[in-house]
Amino acid sequence: MLTSEDPVIVGKGLDKFINYQIDRPKKRYARIAENYYRSEHDILNARLIVEDEHGGLIDAGINYQIPHSFFFVQIDQKVQYLLANGVQVEVDNDLPYKDELEEELKEYFDDDFNLAIDEIVEGASIKGAEYMYARTTAQDELKFEASDMLTTDTVFNDLREEVAVVRHYQETVADGKKEIRLRYAEVYTDDQVSYFIKDEGSKNNRGYALNQNVQPNPRPHVVAKSLKDDEKLLSRSYGRIPFFRMANNRLEESDLKPVKHLIDDYDRIAS
């Protein structure tokens, strides 16, 4: 349904697809891992029940909930170990125009790129995988950013070929005295992106529909107004889906998985 050219069909499919992705076991564990990275451990939801002098049971209180931030330290040390010197590019000495090519590549592998790589390695280590997103700035420069795997999903066809990527998020806006939750979804293919919106506060809510506030929609990956003619739009596509998925390991598992039980035991013993 998500590969249909009919936006109505795509909109109907987005609800099922996003809800399914959110509830996948790997996504649920990724959210747990994010909590542990923020030192929000299972021990914080535990209660120590003790017997008082009269034989009654009482809650020992929150002083017995002490998380220990080993996972946070582990992830930060791993990222620093791998990327302390940043990403460096060297061109083979035998290639013609070596110096010119190195200078050209430095424009892409700059501080912004290294920051994105840091975020992607950190995110993949915590959650098991992470995405990199390519975009073109108003200055016509190619830039790369991290895209959260919790809100970014790959669409495959029956042959397990990647045919699209869906990025989704939500926001709450004020409408008079009430608040409305809006959900957004962006569907990227190899030649265009479509922007959808879902108003959960509307009485006529029929799921996702094309966002009329974005024009044109769908559109090629890169759209800009001509400097010579404001009415003229210039556009081009990348010729591929502008997302790259980085797996933490072959199983796409979080670094928390082999150590979580040790952290939980330490939290219980030391609390």
For tokens 């930060």, the residue is 76
**CB count, 10 Å around CB of 45?**
8
First-to-last C-alpha distance (Å) of the chain: 51
CA–CA gap between residue 21 and residue 24 (Å, rounded)? 5
- Token pair listed for 86: 């940043």
pLDDT tens-digit map of 200-258: 766 666 789 999 999 999 999 999 887 777 778 889 999 999 999 999 999 999 999 99
Give the pTM. Answer: 0.86
- With a cut of 60, say whether residue 151 has pLDDT above it: yes
- With a cut of 90, say whether residue 18 has pLDDT above it: yes
Beta bridge partners of 50: 58
Q: pLDDT band for 63, please (50, 70, 90 cuts).
A: low
Which contiguous run of DSSP H or E holds residue 169?
strand 162-175
Handedness of CA 16, 19, 23, 29 (dihedral sign): positive
Q: Which of 13-17, 181-185, 251-255 has the highest mean pLDDT?
A: 251-255
Least confident stretch, 123-127, 133-137, 173-177, 244-248: 173-177
- With a cut of 90, say whether residue 267 has pLDDT above it: no
> What does the DSSP assignment read for 4-47?
-S-HHHHHHHHHHHHHHHHTSHHHHHHHHHHHHHTT--GGGG--
128: which residues sit within 8 A by CB, 6+ positions away? 26, 29, 30, 33, 149, 247, 248, 249, 251, 252, 253, 254
Q: Which pLDDT does position 203 carry in this prediction? A: 62
Which contiguous run of DSSP H or E holds residue 73?
helix 70-83
What is residue 120's three-state secondary structure? helix
155: which residues sit within 8 A by CB, 6+ positions away? 2, 3, 17, 162, 163, 164, 165, 166
pLDDT tens-digit map of 95-122: 888 888 888 888 888 889 999 999 999 9
For residues 207 and 185, is the Cβ–Cβ distance under 8 A?
Answer: no
The mean pLDDT of 81-93, rounded to a whole number, is 86
